[in-house]
Structure 1
Amino acid sequence: MTDVLIRPAHAFDAAFCVPLIQATIGRIGHALAGTTDDVAAARTMLGFYPLRGNRLSFEHQLIAQAPSGEPLGVILAYPGDHAEALDDPFRERLRALGLPGHVESEGTSGELYVDTLAVTETARGRGIGGRLLDAAATRAAALGLDRVGLLVEDGNPAARLYVRQNFRPAGRRHLAGGVYRYLVRDLT
């Protein structure tokens, strides 16, 4: 789909992005929010979304938008070097709730880490995910980073997209009770 606009997210995009992000990350969202419920996790994310300096902030997101203005997808990506600091607000929140303040940071040094890629169900299969991944690669290069990294759960159909986008396997990671393949796309 060539007429899709890729634009930076704004705080007002929360109502579109947060439910889509939570539907995509599931148990990772639960771990960040300290809950086992999607609605409670999304409610917590809504509080963090308009704030800067955390992994779920609008400042780390790009939106794919139709010419009509309808949002079609979102990519949430940040430099891996910043992952620990971006997770600190979630650690603080968990401790304030009386829970262990353990949050597993996902990004790796030297990469732009794709935390979440999500496209609406009605827009899937139209090349929007690929456009968002290309935009992330452009952002990574502009930041002087030489790769884009992400995690994908076994059986996730998005894995086919990542192969088409030149991602290669680089190991496995355990996160929030799940096992994920770590994939990277080299930019050099």
Structure 2
Amino acid sequence: MTVRIRPAQLFDAGFAAPLIQSTIGAIGRALTGTATDEDAAHVLAEFFPLRGHRLSFTHTLIAEVGGQPAGLLVAYPGEFAADLDEPFRHHLRAIGQPGVTEPEGQAGELYVDTLAVSPDRRGQGVGGALLHSAALRAQNLGLPRLGLLSEADNPAMRLYARQGFRAAGERTVSGIRFIHLIRELSPEPAASPSVEAGC
């Protein structure tokens, strides 16, 4: 099976927003000021085609299998995390809520905000292909590591371990305790992001 990775486009909003929200849950509801995942996904779908925020199409890679979207990865340099939250803070103030967010990324890393694979494509190499592409993006930006936050009981922890991530502390975001995982990268550019994966 071939997993093809491409930059997200505006038309990906309908695929991306619900998948992002199903992955980030309480964080998505906090960012959008909504009470349900359905409402949060609707707001994220409106934000996705816009530039200058953390969940923009400009920070998103789409994985395709057989020409159909199968997963996505959202990543950006951690040093810009606070600035990339400003559009969400503005949105929260506009709907009468406190304009407070909790930036997640840290300087010196390409922060993997969201890694999500469609349920029918899990276990088929899609997540690994997306992380491989994130490593390539980090190296092209001159960043020495990937970083992400994961709950300890997240089944994806096995994937992160296989990909070379290690624990580097803990963080609490939106009342949820996360492990901060990092993967140090070599300075050499990674191979092509198109990946052949076994079915």
Superposition TM-score tier, normalisation by shorter sequence: over 0.9
Question: Corresponding residue for 2:179?
Answer: 181
Greater RCO, 1 or 2 (C-alpha within 8 Å, sep 6+): 2
Q: Which amino acid aligns with 1:84?
A: A
Q: Is the 8 A contact 2:73 2:114 kept in 1?
A: yes
Question: Corresponding residue for 1:30?
Answer: 29
Q: Is the 8 A contact 2:110 2:143 kept in 1?
A: yes
Deviation for aligned residue 1:138: 0.4
Question: Corresponding residue for 2:108?
Answer: 110
Question: Corresponding residue for 2:8?
Answer: 9
Deviation for aligned residue 1:69: 1.3
Q: 2:89 aligns with which of 85, 88, 91?
A: 91
Q: Which amino acid aligns with 1:129?
A: G
Distance 1:171 1:51 in 2: 32
Q: Which amino acid aligns with 1:71?
A: P
Q: Is the 8 A contact 2:3 2:125 kept in 1?
A: no
Deviation for aligned residue 1:78: 0.5
CA offsets, 1:44-72, max 9 Å, x none?
Answer: 10111000001110000111101x31101
What TM-score do you get using the length of structure 1 for normalisation? 0.97
Gaps spanning 5+ residues in structure 1: where? none
Deviation for aligned residue 1:112: 0.3
Question: Corresponding residue for 1:154?
Answer: 152
Q: Is the 8 A contact 1:79 1:112 kept in 2?
A: yes
Distance 1:15 1:98 in 2: 27
Q: Which amino acid aligns with 1:145?
A: L
What TM-score do you get using the length of structure 2 for normalisation? 0.92
Q: Is the 8 A contact 1:27 1:36 kept in 2?
A: no
Distance 1:153 1:10 in 2: 29
Deviation for aligned residue 1:91: 0.5
Q: Which amino acid aligns with 1:113?
A: Y
Structure 1 residue matching 2:35: 3-state secondary structure: coil
Root-mean-square deviation over aligned CA pairs: 0.7
Q: Which amino acid aligns with 1:25?
A: I
Gaps spanning 5+ residues in structure 2: where? 187-199
Distance 2:52 2:138 in 1: 18
Query: Where has structure 1 moved over 2 Å in runs of 4 or more?
Result: none
Q: Is the 8 A contact 1:137 1:148 kept in 2?
A: yes
Question: Corresponding residue for 2:193?
Answer: none
In the alignment, does 2:69 pair up with 1:71? yes
Q: Which amino acid aligns with 1:72?
A: A
